[in-house]
Structure 1
Amino acid sequence: MRSKHIRNTEGVKKHAQMKSQEAAQKVDQAIQHLIKTKAKINFNQVAMESGVSKAFLYNNQEIRNRIEGLRKQQEGLNSPQTIKRNMTDASKDSLIAAKNNRIKKLEKENKRLKDELLKLRGMVYDKF
C-alpha cells in the first residue's frame, strides 16, 4: 500500500529562489562593470563576467531583455577595434600627405639644382 505522505519541499524551493536572486545580483554587477569598462555586452561576456550559465541568462526573461537591449544600444557605437582601425587609416593618410609634400619639395630642389648645373656648364663652355 501506498502511504499518503506529502513531501516538504519548501526548504528546497526557498534555497533555489535565493540562489536565483544571488545569480541575478552577480549578473547586474557584471553588466555594470562591462558598461563602465565600455566592453561589448552580449550573453557570452555577461556569463563569463558574472560566473553564471548562459542558460540562466536566456531563461530569466528580465535579464534577457536587458542584455538584448544593451546589445542593441551598442550596435551603433564603434568598437575599440573599429576606432583603432580608423585611427590607423587616419595616420596612414597623414603619413602619405607628408611624404607627398616631401616629394614635391625634393622635386623642386632637384629642378633648381639641374637648372643651376646647366647655367654653370654654359659658363664653363663660354670660357673655352
Structure 2
Amino acid sequence: MKKYNRKEQLKLVHENRKAMTQKKVDEAIQRLVRAKQVVNFNSVANEAGVSKATLYNTMKLRKQIETLRQQQLKRPALKQLKHEMNENNKDAIIESLKRKIKRIDQENKDLREQLKIAYAQVYKNI
C-alpha cells in the first residue's frame, strides 16, 4: 500500500482548484463576449462566481481580462453606435421634411392662384 503524503495531496488539491477557477473564468468570459457585454474585473468576477482578488492576483487571468478590456475600449460601444445612427437618421429626416415643406408650400401657392382665378370668374358671372 502506498504511503499517504500530505504535501503531495495538498499540492494536488491546490492544482485542481486553480484549474477549476481558470475554467470558470474562461467560460464566464466567453459568455460575456457572446452576450456582447462589458468585460472587466467586476463583470467577470460576478459571472464566474470568484473574487476580484483572485482575478487580480492570478497574472494569467489578469492579463487576459486587461487585454479584452482594452480591445473593447477601442471598439465603439453599442450605445455610441446607436447615437451615431440616430444622428445620421435625424439629418436624413430633417432633409426629407424640408423637401416636403417646400413641395407643400408650392402646392399651396398654386392652389391660391387657382382660387383667385376661380373667384375672378365667379365675380365676372355676377
Given the two structures, how large is their TM-score scaled by the length of structure 2?
Answer: 0.80
Match of 2:12 among 1, 11, 14: 14
**Structure 1 match to 2:111:** 113
**Alpha-carbon deviation of 1:42?**
0.9
The percentage of counterpart residues that share the same residue type is: 37
**Alpha-carbon deviation of 1:69?**
1.0
**Structure 1 match to 2:35:** 37
**Structure 2 match to 1:50:** 48
CA distance in structure 2 between the partners assigned to 1:106 and 1:57 by the alignment = 64
**Structure 2 match to 1:27:** 25
Match of 2:79 among 78, 81, 95: 81
Residues 33-70 of structure 1 deviation map (CA, whole Å, 9 limit, x = unaligned) = 22233322111111122111111000011111111111
CA distance in structure 2 between the partners assigned to 1:31 and 1:62 by the alignment = 13
CA distance in structure 1 between the partners assigned to 2:38 and 2:75 by the alignment = 10
**Alpha-carbon deviation of 1:110?**
0.5
Q: Structure 1 stretches of 5 or more lacking a match?
A: 1-7
Cα RMSD of the aligned pairs, angstroms, is 2.0
**Structure 2 match to 1:92:** 90
The number of residue pairs the alignment matches comes to 121
CA distance in structure 2 between the partners assigned to 1:37 and 1:121 by the alignment = 69
Given the two structures, how large is their TM-score scaled by the length of structure 1?
Answer: 0.79
Residues 52-97 of structure 1 deviation map (CA, whole Å, 9 limit, x = unaligned) = 1111000011111111111111112122222222233333333323
Q: Structure 2 stretches of 5 or more lacking a match?
A: 1-5
CA distance in structure 1 between the partners assigned to 2:41 and 2:59 by the alignment = 13
